[in-house]
Each structure stands twice: as C-alpha cells, then as structure tokens.
C-alpha cells in the first residue's frame, strides 16, 4: 500500500458480466483506471475506447458501430 492506504502497482484488469462475457479491459494503477481502456458489447464487438489517467478520461472517448467502425469521439461527463 502507498501512503494514502491505496493498493500500489499496475495490473491488467478485465471486467466481466455474469455470463462471463468481457465488459471492459484496461490497466489499473493504484486501483484507478490508467492508460488505454476498451469496453465491449455483449456480442464481443468493441463499443468504446479511450485513455485514462488517475481514474479520469484524458482526451475524447471513441464510440464504435457494430462493425467496429469509429462513429464519434467526444468527452463524457464524468462524475
């Protein structure tokens, strides 16, 4: 743990739905999203991707259509 009591280190994180399908994949550093992340639809196609730093998006997140083509990139409201 670091001085804030948080887990330290970087690790690959895969989030899965109850049925085992992949929801998201990316790196956690000190327990927060960092680097490149991807989110997936239930059918396994890419839904969204973007970069994070200390748990917050940096730059736009890109959304993809069902065929994997980028449809739009933009900032999202992050609470």
Position 59 in a domain = yes
3 domain residue, yes or no: no
Residue 4 lies in a domain: no
Q: For residue 28, is it within any domain?
A: yes
Distance of CA 15 to the CA centre of its chain: 9
pLDDT in tens, 14-73: 999 999 999 999 999 999 999 999 999 999 999 999 999 999 999 889 999 999 899 976
User: Contact, 57 vs 51, CB < 8 A?
Assistant: yes
Let me know if residue 5 belongs to a domain: no
> How many domains is the chain partitioned into structurally?
1
Q: Residue written as tokens 């887990």?
A: 7
Question: Is the pLDDT score of 5 beyond 60?
Answer: no
Is residue 32 in a domain? yes
79 belongs to a structural domain = no
Give the structural domain span for 57.
Answer: 10-74
- Helix/strand/coil (H/E/C) assignment for every residue in the chain: CCCCCCCCCEEEEEEECCCCCEEEEEEEECCEEEEEEEEECCCCCEEEEEEEECCEEEEEEEEECCCCCEEEEECCCCC
In a domain, residue 57? The reply is yes
**pLDDT confidence of residue 7:** 55
């Amino acid at each position: 743990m670091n001085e804030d009591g948080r887990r330290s280190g970087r690790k690959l994180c895969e989030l899965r739905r109850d049925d085992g399908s992949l929801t998201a994949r990316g790196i956690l550093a000190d327990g927060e999203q960092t680097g490149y992340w991807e989110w997936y639809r239930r059918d396994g196609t890419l839904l969204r991707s973007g970069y994070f730093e200390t748990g917050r998006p940096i730059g736009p997140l890109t959304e993809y259509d069902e065929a994997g083509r980028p449809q739009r990139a933009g900032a999202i409201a992050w609470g």
